[in-house]
């Protein structure tokens, strides 16, 4: 009787062992929804300071306005093309198509070598 179910038992054991190995070695750990949930206050302060420093750098950027009065810039030509509206399909896409040509072609009369 054991020989009758030997293959089934082996396959089942392989699947169970594979699942256990996946659960232990490959399964990712639980993800936290909050960035600050597992952080200590010092890490949050450092992160906040980095963000503030980056924002200050962005705010201190100044654009040279003389660029827009440069003759090379003024010679640029706008080649934008208006994108046409796409054509709208049928109101009911599931409605059967109208049959315009009901002529049936006899397959035996078509000769692909001609």
Q: What is the pLDDT of residue 15?
A: 95
Q: Tokens 């002529």 belong to which residue? A: 103
Q: What is the pLDDT of residue 43?
A: 67
Question: Is 4 among the domain residues?
Answer: yes
**Distance between CA atoms of 104 and 114, rounded to whole angstroms?**
20
CB atoms within 10 A of CB 62: 6
Q: Tokens 């929804």 belong to which residue? A: 33
Question: Is 5 among the domain residues?
Answer: yes
Question: Is 21 among the domain residues?
Answer: yes
Structural tokens at position 87: 């054509």
Question: Is 10 among the domain residues?
Answer: yes
Question: Is 19 among the domain residues?
Answer: yes
Q: What is the pLDDT of residue 71?
A: 92
Q: What is the pLDDT of residue 97?
A: 84
Question: Is 56 among the domain residues?
Answer: no
Q: Tell me the per-residue pLDDT of 43-80, one tens digit each, with 9 for 90 and over.
A: 667 778 888 889 999 988 888 888 889 999 999 999 99
Count structural domains, the chain: 1
Q: Tell me the per-residue pLDDT of 9-25, one tens digit each, with 9 for 90 and over.
A: 999 999 999 999 888 88
**Distance between CA atoms of 32 and 75, rounded to whole angstroms?**
54
Q: Tell me the per-residue pLDDT of 84-112, one tens digit each, with 9 for 90 and over.
A: 988 888 888 888 888 776 555 555 555 55
What's the Cα-to-Cα distance from 19 to each of 12, 15, 22, 23, 29, rounded to whole Å?
11, 6, 5, 6, 16
Domain residues for the domain of 2 are 1-27
Question: Is 2 among the domain residues?
Answer: yes
CA-CA-CA-CA torsion for 88, 94, 98, 104, nearest 10 degrees? Answer: 130
Question: Is 8 among the domain residues?
Answer: yes
């Amino acid at each position: 009787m054991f020989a009758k179910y030997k293959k089934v038992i082996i396959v089942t054991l392989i699947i169970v062992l594979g699942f256990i190995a996946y659960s232990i070695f490959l399964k990712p750990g639980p993800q936290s929804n909050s960035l600050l949930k597992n952080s200590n206050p010092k890490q949050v302060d450092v992160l906040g300071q980095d963000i503030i420093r980056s924002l200050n750098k962005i705010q201190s950027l100044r654009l040279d306005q003389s660029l827009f009065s440069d003759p090379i810039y003024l010679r640029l030509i706008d080649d934008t093309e208006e994108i046409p509206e796409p054509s709208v399909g049928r109101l009911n896409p599931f409605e059967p198509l109208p049959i315009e040509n009901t002529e049936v072609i006899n397959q035996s009369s078509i000769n692909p070598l001609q």
